[in-house]
Amino acid sequence: MTIPQPPSEQFLTLDQSAQVDAALLSSHEKFLTRLTLSSLKLLKHIAQENQIPIENLTTPQVIAWFEQDSKVRREQGSEAAYLQW
C-alpha cells in the first residue's frame, strides 16, 4: 500500500524549481527538465517501495505501481493515493 506524501516530496521543491528557472534553457527545455526531475523522484520512491535499486526497476514494475496507486485512488479516495493530482 502506498503512503501519501506531501506534494513537495513528489514534485520539485521551490529551490529546485528556482534552479531550473535560472538555467540557460528555453521554456520547453525547462518544462522537460522539471518533468525529468519529478520523474526521478517518483522512480526513486517506486524502487524504495519494491526494495530494489532504482536501476533494477522494470517497465512492468512501474506499470504495476501506477495501477496500484490508481486502485487506491478509486477505492479509498485521492487523499489515500501517493500521487496527488
Instruction: Check: pTM over 0.75? Answer yes or no.
Output: yes
- Domains of the chain, by residue range, sit at 7-80
How far apart are alpha carbons 46 and 27 in whole angstroms?
29
pLDDT tens digit at each of 85 positions of the chain: 455 455 545 678 889 999 999 999 999 999 999 999 999 999 999 999 999 999 999 999 999 999 999 999 999 988 889 888 7
How far apart are alpha carbons 80 and 74 in whole angstroms?
9
